[in-house]
Amino acid sequence: MNLQELIKTAKILVAGDKGLLAMDESNPTCNKRFAALGIPQTPEVRCAYREMIVTTRGLSESISGAILYDETICQQLKDGTPFVKAIINAGIIPGIKVDAGAKELAGHPGEKITEGLDGLQDRLMEYFQTGIRFAKWRAVIAIGNGIPTRGCIEANAHALARYAALCQECGLVPVVEPEVLMDGGHTLEQCFKVTEEVLHTVFNQLYRQGVMLEGMILKPNMVLPGLICLKQVSSEDVADATVKCLLRAVPAAVPGIAFLSGGQSSELASARLNAMNVRFKSRLPWALAFSFARAIQQPALEIWQGKEANVLEAQKALYHRAKCNQAARLGEYTAKMERS
Ligand code: 13P
C-alpha cells in the first residue's frame, strides 16, 4: 500500500473548486431513468449516453473525478478509446462503483444491506491495473416507523469499513457513502439524529478496520427533511444542520466530504452546497464538495433523449450544472447563474 499516493489522490479529488461526477448508475437504475424518458434500454444506448458525458468539452474545469459502472469500464467510445483512457485523457481521475447493490436485510423488514465483499480484493486489483484510482460503495439507511435499527446501521457500517480497508490495500481511495434516504415524511431533526448516529458508527468501524482517514473521501447525504415532510426548510437551515452534524461526527483528518444529491432538484443541491460554503468554508477542517449523479446529469439526460442530434445541447446542460456546483464550492453560486 502506497500511503502517500492514496493521500495525494484523495486530496486531488476534493482540491480547489472541483468535485466528483457520479455516472455509475447500475444497469437497472440507468434503465429506469431511460425508461421514464422513452429512451431504449440497451448496452449500446447506455454506452452512447456515457460517451456524451465524458466527451463534454471543458468538463475537467469543474470535475476532478468520475465514478463509472463496471459495464462502462468494458466499453469504448465510437473511436475505439476505452472509457477509462478517455477520462484520463480528459484530465479527470477515473473511479468505479464496486458494491453489488443493496438487498433486503434478513430479519429487518424495510431495511437493506449492501453486498459485494466476496471476491472484492481481486476485482479491486484488476481495476487498479486499468488505471482506476478510487472506488465507491453505497449503503442505504431508510427512516421510518421503528427504523433504522442498530442492526442495520452496524451491518452497513461494518461492510463499508471492510470495503474501505480493502480499497486502500489495493491502492484505491475509498469513497465511503452511507446514504440516509430522503424518502418519507420525517423531519430535518429526525434526519439529523439518524445521520449523526450513522456517521459515528461508520467512523468507529473505519477505525476498527484500520482505514487511514487521510486517504478516503466521505460521501454523505445532506441533512434534510423527508421529501413529503410538511415542514420544508431554507437552504441556510439545511446548511446549518448539515455542517453541525458533520462537525460532530467526521474527524478532521478526512480531507473532503463530497455530498450525494439523493433526489433533490439540481438547483436546490447547488444552492444548499453553496449555503454551506458561504457560511462555514473558512472554518472547516475538510473541503465541502459534491459527488452528484442526478443533480448534474438529469437536465442533460432530458435534453439528450437518446438522440445523436441532441448531444451538443445536452453537453451544454451538463457543463452548466458542473459549473454551478463549482461555484457552489466557492460560495459563489447564485440563482442568476440558472438564467444565463
Ligand atoms: P445522486 O446524486 O443521484 O443521489 O447519486 C449519487 C450516487 O452516487 C448514488 O450512489
| Catalytic residue, candidates 97, 112, 136, 219 | 219
Give the pLDDT of residue 209.
98
Contacts of 80 (CB under 8 A, 6+ apart): none
pLDDT band at 294 (very low <50, low <70, confident <90, very high): very high
Q: For residue 1, name the pLDDT band (cuts at 50, 70, 90).
A: low
For 239, residues 6+ apart whose C-beta sits below 8 A from its C-beta are 272, 275, 276, 278, 279, 280
Stretch 316-334: mean pLDDT: 98
pLDDT band at 12 (very low <50, low <70, confident <90, very high): very high
Asked if residue 261 has its Cβ within 6 Å of ligand 1, the reply is yes
Q: What is the pLDDT of residues 36-73, one digit of tens each?
A: 999 999 999 999 999 999 999 999 999 999 999 999 99
Contact of 288 with 325, CB cutoff 8 Å: no
Instruction: Give the pLDDT confidence score for residue 199 in this predicted structure.
Output: 99
pLDDT of 301 over the 70 cut: yes
pLDDT above 90 (res 321): yes
Res. 340 pLDDT band, cuts 50 70 90: confident
Set 25, 51, 111, 177: catalytic member: 177
Peptide bond into 28 cis (omega under 30): no
Residue with cell 466530504: 257
Q: For this structure, is 169 an active site residue? A: no
Give residue 99 CA to ligand 1 midpoint distance, Å.
13
Q: How far apart are CA 137 and CA 99, in angstroms?
A: 5
Cβ(22) – ligand 1 distance below 6 Å: yes
Catalytic residue flag (residue 332)? no
Grid coordinates standing for 204? 468507529
pLDDT tens digits, one per residue of 95-152: 999 999 999 999 999 999 999 999 999 999 999 999 999 999 999 999 999 999 999 9
Predicted confidence (pLDDT) per residue in 212-229, tens digit: 999 999 999 999 999 999
Q: Which three cell numbers stand for residue 122?
A: 481481486
How far apart, in whole angstroms, are the C-alpha atoms of residue 183 and residue 141?
10
| Mean pLDDT in residue range 258-262 | 99
Please give the pLDDT value at position 339.
87
Q: Whose CA is nearest to atom 4 of ligand 1?
A: 262
Residue 321 main-chain phi, psi, to 5 deg? -65, -40
